Amino acid sequence: MRVQLFDQPLPTGVTLACRATGPADAPRRAVFLHGFPEAAFAWDDVISALAAADPGLRCVAPNQRGYAGSSAPAEVSAYRAKHLVADIAALLDVVAGPGQPIDLLVAHDWGGGVAWNFAALLPQRVRQLVIINSPHPGAMLRELRRSQQQRDASQYMTMLVQPDAAQLLAADDFAVLFGKLDGLGGSEKPAWLTPAVRAQYRDVWSRGLDGALNWYRASPLRPPTRADDPALAAVVLPDSVVNVRVPTTVLWGLADRALCPGLIADLDGWVPGIQVHTRPDASHWIVHEHPDWVIGHIRAALARV
């Protein structure tokens, strides 16, 4: 199934570079949100397979604000959650019609950060939610406060928020970033990271990294920099952004080095009826590693609509 490319201007003043499969007038709609340091191309195999299996399904995957080809405001404040959620609400107005729901929202990593907030704040806009290796904000705050293992695993964020982070990540042909793709699952040079896929990542990163890094700079959810750091203790997440009433499926690779298993414990207090499916042999890059498994669970979520 051919992936369609187009730029979508939004009323938020942002233009998102999008990838899509399926007919524009299909009766069912699904939106896919990528994470860091990826872009919408990471969903190509998934959305191609889904649309090929269901001719009545339209799949849209945007490069989110700050990523290659999409608008990238310079101000860190432009990457706060309320703006990222507003972008997706505006995109859904285009994809499904003003104020109308989509059948499915799928998100990985930072895309999940947006999707959790979106589903909490605008549950009427989503019929099913699938989250892939992306922590619920309440669970992330809990684990950063109580788990030394998670604080240690999240220390990479300290580097990503530095003013010169983009230069450090771009050095030596993006050696640090390729190292994250190679190593977060514990295996060196994984089979999925072919020369062609490396070229796709290199193309995205070559268009600028500071927009993507501003997501980290704008977020209060990061590990403390010292034992008496008051920043994390001051974070308050209101019920309106943590309680999700959308039917939700979580897919989780347990070999993720950045996100520890404690993050998927006791989620039903925030998300009643949540379904959690894990794979011990999958890392943070589970969408690349096990696309058929991911697609199977996405199709199961669509069948529940």
The model's pLDDT over 162-200, given as tens digits with 9 standing for 90+, comes to 999 999 999 999 999 999 898 654 446 789 999 999 999
Contact 87, 77 (CB under 8 A): no
| Strand, coil or helix: 42 | helix
Distance of alpha carbon 100 from alpha carbon 26, whole angstroms: 14
Task: Show Cβ contacts of residue 156 under 8 Å, excluding neighbours closer than 6 positions.
Answer: 180, 258
- Identify the pLDDT of residue 229: 80
Q: Give the Cβ contact number of residue 152 at 10 Å.
A: 10
Residues of the chain with pLDDT under 50: 185-187
- The DSSP symbol for 2 reads P
- Identify the pLDDT of residue 135: 98
Distance of alpha carbon 19 from alpha carbon 8, whole angstroms: 10
Task: State the angle between helix axes of 291-303 and 44-53 in degrees (0 to 180), rounded to the nearest 10.
Answer: 50
Q: In what order do the strands lie in the sheet with 275-279?
A: 4-9, 15-21, 57-62, 28-33, 104-108, 129-132, 248-253, 275-279
Q: How far apart are the first and last CA of the chain?
A: 23
- Identify the pLDDT of residue 185: 45
Distances in Å between the Cα of 50 and the Cα atoms of 11, 102, 131, 252 are: 29, 15, 17, 20
Task: State the angle between helix axes of 165-183 and 195-206 in degrees (0 to 180), rounded to the nearest 10.
Answer: 160
Residue 143: which H helix or E strand, with range? helix 137-146
Q: Residue 104: what are its φ and ψ, rounded to 5°?
A: -155, 135
Distance of alpha carbon 125 from alpha carbon 103, whole angstroms: 9
Burial class (CB in 10 A: 0-12, 13-18, 19+), 188: exposed
